[in-house]
C-alpha cells in the first residue's frame, strides 16, 4: 500500500469506504449516480485507435474507478498501459481482469507479453500453455521463444508451417525463434524467404541484439512498437483488493469519505513521464511493419462489456464422498499459473466446476511443479467422459485412479477458485 493510503486509511473499514466512494462518483465531483463509466471506456477505446496512449490511460483509469469490478474495463486499462509501454501496470490490470472472470486468449497473450517484458518467464509460460488451444500458433510459438522456451517455440511454428499455415508472419516468427535459439543458419534461411538479400544481414544483427537475455523490456517493446517508460505500477487506488464484491456504499458513507477519496484520486497523475530513449533494437521508426519483421499482433480491443460467465453443467460426481478417479489437467511452474489454468479450464469446460480442484506441489528431478487435477469422479466412465470433453476443446488431460488427496511427500494446495 502506498504512503498516500497509509496516511489516510488506518484500517480495512476505512479502505472500503474510500474505494467505494471512488466508484460512486467522486471522480468528477458530481452527485452519486451521475458517472457514466461507459463514456470513459469509449473515450479510452477511441484514444487507443488514434494511437494516443496518454489519453487512453487517463480515461481507462476513470472507467475502472467508476465500475471497478467490470473485467472488460480492466482489460481496456491493461491495453492502454501496454500501448504506453508500462509493463508493470499492464500486468496487474490484466491479472485482475482475469481474477474477475475475463478468459479471452487476447488477454492471456497480453498478460504473457507483460510477464516476458518483466522477465517473469515461468508465469508467462504457464499462461501460454493454459491457453495454447485458443492462441494462434504464430503468436503462441513466438511468445514461447521470447519466454525462453526456444525449442518448444520452434517446434510449434514449424508444425504450423507443415500443417499448411505457411504465411509471412509464421515464417518470420520462426526465423526469429531460430535466432533466439542460436540457430543462425536456419534463421538466415527462413528470413531470406521474405526479405531482399541485402536486408538479411541487417536483420540478423538486429535479432542478435534482441537476443540478449537482459533486454526483456526492449525486446517486447520493439515487437509491439511501443515506447519504454519508467513505471511505478498501477495506482494503489485502482487495486482490485480495494473493491470486494459484497460491500456496498451508502450515500452517508460516500459523503463522509469524500475528503479521503479525493486524496486517493490524486494518485491518478497524468501519464506525463517522458519516454525513455528507445534503444536501437526497439526503435519503432526503424522496424519494418508486418510481413517483414517477426511480430506478435494483439487483436484489437473488444468493446468493453461485462464478461458472460457460462453456467455449469451438472456433473456425474461421486456420491456420498466415494471418489475413485481423478483427471489431471496439467503441471505448471508457478502456483499463480496453476490457479489461472484452473479458471481457464472451468470456463471452457463448465462441467469441471462440479468437481474438486486439487492442486498438488511436487518436486520432479529437482524441479518444483504445481500439478492441477480435478477430483471426485465416481468411476472410470465419468472421469473418461470429462477428459474426452477437455480433449475435444483442444486441451490435454490424463485419467488417473485415486481419491484426489496428496501422495506421501507431496503438499496439496487448495486454490482460490476451489475455495470459492
| DSSP 8-class letter at 317 | B
DSSP codes of every residue in 202-245: HHHHHHHHHT-TT-HHHHHHHHHT--B-----S-GGG-GGGS-T
User: Would you state the pLDDT for residue 420?
Assistant: 29
The residues that bridge with 330 in the sheet, in sequence order, are 372
Spans of the chain, pLDDT less than 50: 1-32, 247-258, 260-293, 299, 301, 305-316, 319-320, 404-420
Q: What pTM, to 2 d.p., does this model score? A: 0.69
| Rounded distance between C-alpha atoms, residue 12 and residue 200, angstroms | 59
Cell 544483427 appears where?
Answer: 205
Cell 460512486 appears where?
Answer: 24
Cell 457514466 appears where?
Answer: 36
Q: Which domains does the chain have, with CATH numbers?
A: 3-270 (1.25.40.10), 325-419 (3.30.70.1070)
**In the structure grid, which three cell numbers stand for residue 383, read together?**
472421469
User: Would you state the pLDDT for residue 294?
Assistant: 56
CB-based contact 111:89 (threshold 8 Å): no
| Rounded distance between C-alpha atoms, residue 325 and residue 307, angstroms | 33
For the segment 53-85, what is each residue's pLDDT rounded down to a tens digit?
A: 999 999 999 999 999 999 999 999 999 999 999
CB-based contact 346:418 (threshold 8 Å): no
3-class DSSP assignment, residue 328: strand
**In the structure grid, which three cell numbers stand for residue 362, read together?**
511436487
| Rounded distance between C-alpha atoms, residue 76 and residue 56, angstroms | 9
Amino acid at each position: 500500500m502506498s504512503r498516500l493510503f497509509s496516511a489516510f486509511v488506518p484500517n480495512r473499514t476505512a479502505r472500503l469506504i474510500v474505494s467505494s466512494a471512488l466508484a460512486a462518483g467522486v471522480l468528477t465531483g458530481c452527485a452519486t449516480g451521475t458517472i457514466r463509466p461507459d463514456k470513459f471506456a469509449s473515450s479510452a477505446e477511441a484514444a487507443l485507435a488514434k494511437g494516443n496512449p496518454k489519453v487512453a490511460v487517463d480515461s481507462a483509469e476513470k472507467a475502472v474507478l467508476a465500475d471497478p469490478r467490470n473485467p472488460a474495463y480492466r482489460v481496456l486499462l491493461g491495453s492502454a498501459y501496454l500501448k504506453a509501454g508500462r509493463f508493470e501496470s499492464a500486468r496487474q490490470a490484466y491479472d485482475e481482469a482475469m481474477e474477475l472472470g475475463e478468459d479471452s486468449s487476447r488477454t492471456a497473450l497480453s498478460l504473457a507479453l507483460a510477464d516476458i517484458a518483466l522477465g517473469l518467464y515461468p508465469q508467462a509460460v504457464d499462461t501460454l500453455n493454459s491457453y495454447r488451444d485458443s492462441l494462434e500458433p504464430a503468436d503462441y510459438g513466438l511468445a514461447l521463444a521470447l519466454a525462453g522456451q526456444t525449442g518448444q517455440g520452434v517446434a510449434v511454428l514449424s508444425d504450423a508451417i507443415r500443417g499448411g499455415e505457411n504465411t509471412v508472419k509464421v515464417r518470420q516468427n520462426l526465423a526469429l525463434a531460430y535466432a533466439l535459439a542460436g540457430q543462425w543458419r536456419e534463421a538466415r534461411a527462413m528470413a531470406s524467404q521474405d526479405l531482399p538479400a541485402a536486408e538479411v544481414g541487417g536483420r540478423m544483427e538486429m535479432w542478435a541484439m534482441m537476443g540478449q537475455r537482459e533486454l526483456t523490456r526492449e525486446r517486447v517493446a520493439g515487437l509491439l512498437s511501443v515506447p519504454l517508460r519508467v513505471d511505478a505500477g498501477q495506482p494503489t487506488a485502482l487495486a482490485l483488493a480495494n473493491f470486494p464484491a459484497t460491500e456496498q456504499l451508502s450515500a452517508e458513507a460516500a459523503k463522509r469519505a469524500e475528503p479521503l477519496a479525493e486524496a486517493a484520486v490524486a494518485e491518478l497523475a497524468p501519464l506525463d513521464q517522458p519516454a525513455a530513449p528507445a534503444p536501437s533494437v526497439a526503435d519503432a521508426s526503424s522496424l519494418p511493419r508486418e510481413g517483414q519483421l517477426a511480430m506478435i499482433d494483439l487483436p484489437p480491443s473488444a468493446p468493453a462489456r461485462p464478461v458472460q460467465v457460462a453456467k455449469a453443467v451438472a456433473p456425474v460426481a461421486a456420491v456420498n464422498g466415494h471418489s475413485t478417479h481423478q483427471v489431471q489437467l496439467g503441471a505448471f511452474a508457478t502456483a499463480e499459473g496453476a490457479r489461472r489454468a484452473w479458471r481457464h479450464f472451468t470456463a471452457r469446460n463448465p462441467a469441471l466446476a462440479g468437481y474438486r480442484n486439487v492442486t498438488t506441489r511436487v518436486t520432479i528431478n529437482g524441479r518444483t511443479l504445481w500439478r492441477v487435477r480435478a477430483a471426485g469422479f465416481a468411476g472410470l466412465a465419468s472421469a473418461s467422459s470429462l477428459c474426452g470433453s477437455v480433449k475435444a476443446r483442444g486441451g490435454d488431460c490424463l485419467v488417473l485412479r485415486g481419491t484426489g488427496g496428496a501422495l506421501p511427500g507431496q503438499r496439496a494446495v487448495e486454490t482460490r477458485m476451489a475455495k470459492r
